[in-house]
Chain A
Amino acid sequence: MSELTTPVHAIDEYLHALDLSLRDLPSDRRREIVSEIREHIGEALSSGGSEVSEVAVGNVLERMGDPEEIADDARQRFGLARREVTWQDWLVPVLLPFGTFLALFGWLAGVVLLWKSKHFARWEKIVATAVWPFGLALPLYAGAFIAGFASGPADCIERPGGVTECRAETTHVVFSWSVQQVLMTLAFVAPLAVAAYLTVRLLRVRRGLRH
């Protein structure tokens, strides 16, 4: 079953990437190009033999070319501005997670550059803005706050003579430790994953422009 579904999945993925790359073209042109290429792929595979293998799909897609390269060519054909990757674009995956540590408004600057960039789709911009406001600073400070709160005054015992003794490890903290750890790890990994994704997107765009 997996032999059958994997190549089809690769085609869908390819067409989706192509559609995304072509998004600044007029929508009717974009639809036309994507549907023609879809049919071309179908025909190329059916003329190649009865067996649609992963290798056959790989070869057809390879001949078709990088979606970003096709999009770059299309932009030139239709007289649209080529979309160079600028230094402002490269700042986005740096400023979103780390911006707050560099300057108070570092994250905000990252968001502005993100929304000004021509290389990201709307949904990508929304996700990148939401995960997380102020980037890694949010889970860091939130984590410190929660940790401080959890081992706060409730675990302190007042000794005679005005001395307050606090125990760092209480049953309450131990109990929620694993859940807390998983959540905190996720909270830290998420913005880094988003930054990595945005970087890969920019690298792909640049690779397409090189041809």
Chain B
Amino acid sequence: MSRMVPPPDAAPRDLTQLRRGLLEHCVLALLRSGEEYGFEIVRRLSECDGLVTSEGTIYPLLSRLRRDGLVSTTWRESTAGPPRRYYALTDRGRATLESFIVEWARVRDAVDLLMKEGRG
């Protein structure tokens, strides 16, 4: 019933979608310097304020990136505890990231400009 009532402000929902899309590329960017395992990826993303609302959502994202062939995974022994699944960029992932970086810079500059103009 309450679903029919529109939310008081539509911004959070849009922002969630925006964040969801950006997060994907943030993960790719994070892996640019080398392979990393899940816990560490989540920890580093969580350090960025406002990017991750629920840490658990990173794992479906990693799974999706793997299915799309943007990252590959390898099991490695850990010094403590069970073996860990390490994620690494594939060539395809690297290419996707590079094109995103260019596109993102253009979009960000355009949005920033409009936002500044709007403020007068």
Contacts and interface: CB of A to CB of B under 8 A. Distances in A.
B106 to A, nearest CB: 25
Given A73-B54, A77-B61, A84 B81 contact: no
A9 interface: no
Nearest to B3: A84
Contacts of A206: 3
A36 B85 contact: yes
B31 to A, nearest CB: 16
Given A32-B63, A33-B63, A77-B60, A211 B39 contact: no
Q: Chain A interface residue count: which class?
A: 20 to 34
B64 A78 contact: yes
Contact of B82 (A32, A39, A211): A39
Contacts, number: 78
B29 to A, nearest CB: 18
A64 B3 contact: no
A119 to B, nearest CB: 14
Contacts of B20: 73, 76-77
Nearest to B78: A43
B55 A40 contact: yes
A19 interface: no
Given A29-B67, A32-B63, A37-B59, A65 B39 contact: no
Contacts of A18: 56
Contacts of B67: 29, 78
B interface majority secondary structure: helix
B64 A77 contact: yes
A65 B60 contact: no
B66 to A, nearest CB: 8
B38 interface: yes
Contacts of B56: 18, 37, 64-65, 67, 69-70
Interface string B35-58: 000110010001000000111110
15 contacts: A29-B67, A36-B59, A37-B59, A39-B84, A40-B42, A63-B46, A64-B55, A65-B54, A67-B56, A69-B56, A70-B57, A70-B59, A87-B1, A206-B3, A211-B16
Interface of B: 1, 3, 16, 20, 38-39, 42, 46, 53-57, 59-64, 67, 80-82, 84-85
